[in-house]
Structure 1
Amino acid sequence: MTESEQLVQTTIGSGGATLCAADGGELVYRLTGRGISALLTAVEEERVVSHGPLDWGDKLVGRAAALLFTLVRPRSVFALTMSTGAQDVLRTAGIPFTCDTVILDVLNRTGIGPCPMEAAVSGINEPLVALETLKQVSRTLSDAGRNNAPRKGST
């Protein structure tokens, strides 16, 4: 295991970030966010400013996240928890990966159905199509959250 891979695993494992990337034993990205939002942000930034291959780590990697990871051409991907669908995507793309726990599917926050991001990419295999789809779903969910938030002064 390289110094960067160890740093990524330690950072994610300690809760120091929900998403991070390292190169040469130094963190290049350290983001915290709910769901796939941090990865969407990093992918957009990475597509503009290329650092070359990085070792990436994420708290949870489902198939949706794995499709996004292929866009940044990582040196490796680590996850505390990874779905079998994510493993299939990364394996097909030739990206080395490790994880602490393997799950069948990523569930929604209530735990009773599929994660909306996973559902959105269920029939998608093209990473760029997945990116656009996930950005749209993220915006829709964000807008719905704002519209359902209590308003100041309402009773």
Structure 2
Amino acid sequence: MFGKDDLLTDAQLHELLKDNGYTLAVLKGDQVVFHSQERGLKPLYQLYRQQPELLRDSVIADKVTGKAAAVLAVLGGAKEVYSDLISEHAFQVLKFGGVKTRYRGKAPYIINRTKTGMCPMETLVMDAASPEEGAARLIEFFEGLKEKQNGTEKNERH
């Protein structure tokens, strides 16, 4: 795909996302090992939970990176994150987690899809004291969502 010894430029990573309609791409060396066109955190979360080895020592190209995605990148062992748009909170998590970070634009926070406030995933992990605490919140959220979708949510009334 790219030259073996080439460090992918910001422009190349941006074009990889744009030209293929990807919202997320994970690269190992010069090969894309995972990609998604799905919006939101779910694809990265599923990768973190189901195929974490793909994140270790990877380059993550992400269209929009909030703090929740940064938490997963740090704990997944990514070596680098490129983002078209990153939140200041995500940038700080990646910086302190030792993950090289490149971006086209930075915002104070990621807004929700209706543009009425902060992204709910960013809100969920905003005050987490550590990436581990943030990941625990994300796991609880997604597992609860899965239970609701499967109709297995426990009825609290007896």
Which of 1, 26, 35 does residue 30 from structure 1 map onto? 35
Find the aligned partners of 2:94 and 2:32 in 1 and give their Cα distance: 22
Find the aligned partners of 1:131 and 1:14 in 2 and give their Cα distance: 31
Larger mean CA deviation between 105-114 and 131-140 belongs to 131-140
Structure 2 unpaired stretches of 5+: 1-5, 152-158
Deviation (angstroms), 1:108: 1.5
| C-alpha RMSD of matched pairs (Å) | 2.6
Which of 52, 65, 69 does residue 61 from structure 1 map onto? 65
How many matched pairs? 146
**Aligned partner of residue 14 in structure 1, secondary structure:** helix
Find the aligned partners of 2:133 and 2:18 in 1 and give their Cα distance: 31
Note if contact 1:7-1:22 (Cα within 8 Å) is conserved in structure 2. no
Structure 1 residues 121 and 52, CA, compared in 2 at 3 Å: closer, same or farther? Answer: closer
Note if contact 1:21-1:55 (Cα within 8 Å) is conserved in structure 2. yes
Deviation (angstroms), 1:133: 1.2
Find the aligned partners of 1:144 and 1:52 in 2 and give their Cα distance: 31
Note if contact 2:47-2:54 (Cα within 8 Å) is conserved in structure 1. no
Structure 1 unpaired stretches of 5+: 148-155
**Aligned partner of residue 90 in structure 1, secondary structure:** helix
**Aligned partner of residue 100 in structure 1, secondary structure:** strand
Larger mean CA deviation between 91-100 and 128-137 belongs to 128-137
Structure 1 length-normalised TM: 0.80
- Identity among equivalent positions (%) equals 23
Counterpart AA for 2:18: G
